[in-house]
């Protein structure tokens, strides 16, 4: 059964075109993940479907009787209402008797995991994860056929995400969900759609869950790259024919010349879209002191209590370069406490912490207190100048902002007016400017889009120092950690193979899997697991500006081709051919260099 169909949906905001022809058909049972870079229009598309805002052109055909529910990023519940009142109020526009509304509300609350005290528990008493469940209960009570969820995992802890994941996996309604949590997306969806200007029509969709979609995406761009290389080779031959002074004296020659210009247009579009893709895959890089030592920090018999509650009990660990420790635990378990002890912000009640001399620690705290939101990025980074020093190189502020995926005109915008993702990248930017031995990262992924998450992931994998990571992003933790420690009962920390193993252990469902005790002796394999390769800033800068260089050369070549010289004027015609050959040769060399740089970046 078809629920709705979007045809050629277009939307502009000011002078900016978000999308120019979105097509999407949603059927009963579809569970669609909607992805794309910041600003691509994902949230806007949900609002268009929900009729919160209008689209400019195109058609939306909603099947008769289909109910659509929209769950924005932030719930707007009256905190003083009980759970029952919140769900019943959501049925205000549906003509039902009060008793029937209460029956539907009770069924819906049970469906998403609320079991008792509906009439006494208020909205203010439940966590963010349960508020998401409450919103889904409202959609269930309305008997929605399609639910639109905008960043439902944002700022939820791991328990909240897992609870929401189970609810959506069991849901009978279809949904379209926008999320930056890659594991969450893969586990709950059966279709994926990306909105992005790197595609000819501005979007790409497959009947696949997230990770399978990403494999198909790689295949798609491998074909695009191959097509570009083939076009480039064919055009080189055709350009040589054209440069010999071929005249369109026959129908065949005219067709050949027309074909050349069509190929040029196709190549230009491919180069443009592939350049945008490369710019979206720009990498972050953290600066290290390159200290030569086997041990940075040694924790011996660390104990910490708050009141009568023991948080950490006789914890021992040696932290060395090229290791990443992923910390797991429920809210209040002690993850941030352990980080604060390592950061010298908190003293242990017992035990000792020994640091190598002149140890440099950089900190990303969840509250982002390092950044004064009243400042502008210019004042934050430059303090009166117009540049920053990154890896011993002076970098202009506009280039630095571009590196952090911000526009140059945002340099004088108060940070409080920037989006959550932009503020997160500014925080990361501050850390990248510091040379560090140890990175302490507490929920660095909040508000970051998938592209920024991938950039962060690559940067952490290549950082030669040590990392202590707290994150609800399961894919990130498992990808970069050389060791995963989970807080369990009685203030104990144990080794786990992955996040699922820790979660199963905490739920009492561990099956045929041993949980190893943490080893005080550092395993040598930990040193070798992370890739220490680095790319020079010069190469990175050349790579990032190559698109603009090539565009300038292509424009110059097009100008020459549009104003040919009469071959009868031999001297001028010779100069013209020499100039065109020189520009073409330079352009070919730049493309070759681009490919070399691309290989360096990919490796």
Q: In the predicted model, is pLDDT for residue 517 greater than 50?
A: no
- CA distance readout (Å), 67 to 71, 141, 173: 13, 11, 10
Q: In the predicted model, is pLDDT for residue 514 greater than 90?
A: no
* pLDDT of 391: 85
Strands (E), 349-497: 350-355, 361-364, 387-390, 393-396, 438-442, 466-470, 483-487, 493-496
Percent of the chain surpassing pLDDT 70: 91
Exposure on the CB side of residue 434, measured as CA atoms within 13 A: 17
Q: In which band, very low, low, confident or very high, does the pLDDT at 574 lie, cut at 50, 70 and 90? A: low
* pLDDT of 532: 45
Give residue for tokens 């790409």: 204
* Same topology between domain 297-529 and domain 535-603: no
- CA distance readout (Å), 435 to 366, 390, 400, 518: 21, 9, 17, 30
* pLDDT of 376: 92
Q: What is the mean pLDDT of residues 375-390?
A: 88
* pLDDT of 569: 67
More confident residue, 524 or 508: 508
* pLDDT of 513: 44
Residue 312 three-state SS: strand
Q: In which band, very low, low, confident or very high, does the pLDDT at 535 lie, cut at 50, 70 and 90? A: low
The pTM score is 0.76
- Alpha carbons 321 and 326: distance in angstroms, whole number: 15
Q: Which fold has domain 2-215?
A: Rossmann fold (3.40.50)
Q: Give the residue among 281, 221, 217 at the shortest CA–CA distance from 535.
A: 281
Q: In which band, very low, low, confident or very high, does the pLDDT at 20 lie, cut at 50, 70 and 90? A: confident
Look over the chain and give the mean of its residue pLDDT values, rounded to a whole number: 85
- Alpha carbons 148 and 139: distance in angstroms, whole number: 10
Q: What contacts 422, CB < 8 A, 6 or more positions away?
A: 38, 405, 406, 410
- Alpha carbons 195 and 201: distance in angstroms, whole number: 9
Q: In the predicted model, is pLDDT for residue 245 greater than 80?
A: no
Q: In the predicted model, is pLDDT for residue 524 greater than 60?
A: no
- Do 42 and 36 touch, CB atoms closer than 8 A? yes
- Do 174 and 29 touch, CB atoms closer than 8 A? yes
- Do 498 and 482 touch, CB atoms closer than 8 A? no
Q: Give the residue among 258, 286, 541 at the shortest CA–CA distance from 398.
A: 541
* pLDDT of 523: 39
- Do 82 and 122 touch, CB atoms closer than 8 A? yes
Domain boundaries, the chain: 2-215, 226-281, 297-529, 535-603
Positive or negative: CA dihedral 418, 422, 427, 429? negative
- Do 536 and 546 touch, CB atoms closer than 8 A? no
Helix 537-562 and helix 570-602, axial crossing angle in degrees, nearest 10:
150
- DSSP annotation of 297: E
More confident residue, 82 or 599: 82
- What tokens were used for 473? 């992003």
* pLDDT of 28: 93
* pLDDT of 248: 53
- CA distance readout (Å), 72 to 4, 148, 184, 213, 292: 20, 8, 18, 25, 50
For the segment(s) 535-603, the CATH number from 1.10.1270.20, 1.10.287.380, 3.40.605.10, 3.40.50.2000 is 1.10.287.380
* pLDDT of 219: 93
Q: How many helices (H) and strands (E) does the chain have?
A: 18, 20
What is the edge-to-edge ordering of all strands in the sheet holding 483-487? 361-364, 438-442, 466-470, 324-328, 483-487, 493-496
* pLDDT of 485: 93
Q: What is the mean pLDDT of residues 268-296?
A: 86
Q: In which band, very low, low, confident or very high, does the pLDDT at 566 lie, cut at 50, 70 and 90? A: low
Q: In the predicted model, is pLDDT for residue 512 greater than 80?
A: no
User: Is 297-529 a CATH 2.60.34.10 domain?
Assistant: no
* pLDDT of 403: 87
pLDDT single digits (tens) 440-485: 999 898 888 888 899 999 999 999 999 999 999 999 999 999 999 9
Q: In which band, very low, low, confident or very high, does the pLDDT at 422 lie, cut at 50, 70 and 90? A: confident
Percent of the chain surpassing pLDDT 90: 44
* pLDDT of 541: 74
* pLDDT of 16: 79
pLDDT single digits (tens) 153-194: 876 778 878 888 988 998 889 999 999 999 999 999 999 999
Q: What contacts 554, CB < 8 A, 6 or more positions away?
A: 268, 271, 587
Q: What is the mean pLDDT of residues 195-208?
A: 93
User: Where does residue 19 rank: exposed (0-12), middle (13-18), buried (19+ CB within 10 A)?
Assistant: buried
Give residue for tokens 């409080």: 416
pLDDT single digits (tens) 221-236: 999 988 888 888 888 8
Q: In which band, very low, low, confident or very high, does the pLDDT at 261 lie, cut at 50, 70 and 90? A: confident
């Amino acid at each position: 059964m078809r629920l709705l169909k979007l045809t050629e949906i277009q939307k502009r905001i000011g002078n900016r075109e978000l999308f120019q022809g979105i097509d999407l058909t949603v059927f009963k049972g579809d569970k669609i993940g909607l992805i794309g870079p910041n600003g691509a229009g994902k949230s806007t598309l949900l609002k268009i479907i929900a009729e919160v805002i209008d689209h400019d052109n195109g058609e939306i055909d909603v099947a008769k009787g289909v109910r659509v529910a929209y769950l924005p990023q932030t719930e707007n519940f009256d905190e003083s209402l009980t759970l029952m009142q919140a769900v019943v109020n959501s049925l205000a526009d549906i003509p039902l008797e009060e008793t029937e509304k209460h029956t539907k509300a009770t069924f819906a609350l049970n469906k998403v995991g609320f079991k008792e005290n509906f009439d006494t528990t208020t909205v203010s008493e439940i966590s963010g994860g349960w508020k998401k469940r409450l919103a889904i209960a409202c959609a269930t009570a309305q008997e929605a056929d399609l639910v639109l969820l905008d960043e439902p995992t944002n700022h939820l802890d791991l328990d909240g995400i897992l609870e929401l994941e189970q609810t959506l996996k069991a849901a009978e309604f279809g949904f379209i969900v926008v999320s930056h949590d890659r594991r969450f997306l893969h586990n709950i969806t059966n279709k994926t759609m990306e909105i992005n200007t790197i595609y000819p029509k501005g979007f790409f969709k497959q009947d696949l869950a997230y990770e399978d979609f990403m494999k198909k995406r790689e295949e798609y761009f491998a074909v695009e790259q191959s097509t570009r290389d083939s076009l480039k080779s064919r055009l080189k031959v055709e350009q040589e024919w054209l440069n010999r002074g071929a005249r369109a004296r026959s129908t065949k020659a005219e067709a050949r010349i027309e074909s050349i210009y069509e190929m040029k247009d196709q190549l230009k579009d491919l180069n443009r879209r592939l350049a945008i893709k490369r710019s979206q895959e720009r990498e972050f890089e953290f600066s290290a002191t390159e200290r030569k030592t086997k041990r940075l920090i040694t924790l011996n018999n660390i104990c910490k209590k708050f009141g009568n509650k023991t948080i950490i009990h006789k914890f021992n660990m040696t932290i060395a370069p090229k290791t990443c420790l992923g910390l797991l635990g429920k809210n209040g378990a002690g993850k941030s406490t352990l980080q604060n002890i390592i950061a010298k912000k908190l003293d242990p009640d017992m035990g000792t912490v020994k640091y190598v001399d002149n140890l440099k620690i950089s900190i990303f705290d969840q509250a982002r207190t390092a950044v004064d939101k009243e400042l502008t990025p210019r004042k934050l980074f430059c303090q009166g100048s117009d540049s920053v020093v990154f890896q011993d190189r002076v970098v202009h502020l506009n280039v630095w902002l571009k590196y952090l995926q911000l526009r140059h005109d945002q340099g004088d915008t108060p940070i409080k007016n920037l989006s959550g993702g932009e503020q997160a990248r500014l925080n990361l930017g501050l850390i990248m400017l510091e040379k560090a031995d140890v990175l302490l990262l507490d929920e660095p992924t909040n508000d970051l889009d998938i592209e920024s998450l991938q950039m962060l992931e690559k940067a952490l994998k290549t950082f030669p120092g040590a990392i202590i990571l707290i994150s609800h992003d399961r894919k990130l933790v498992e990808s970069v950690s050389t060791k995963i420690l989970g807080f369990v009962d009685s203030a104990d920390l144990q080794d786990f193979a992955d996040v699922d193993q820790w979660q199963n252990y905490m739920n009492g469902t561990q099956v045929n899997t041993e949980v190893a005790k943490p080893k005080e002796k550092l395993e040598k394999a930990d040193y070798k697991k992370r890739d220490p390769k680095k790319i020079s800033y010069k190469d990175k800068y050349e790579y990032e500006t190559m698109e603009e260089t090539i565009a300038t050369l292509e424009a110059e070549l097009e100008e020459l081709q549009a104003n040919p010289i009469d071959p009868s004027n031999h001297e001028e015609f010779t100069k013209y051919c020499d100039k065109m050959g020189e520009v073409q040769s330079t352009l070919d060399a730049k493309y070759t260099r681009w490919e070399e740089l691309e290989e360096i970046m990919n490796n």
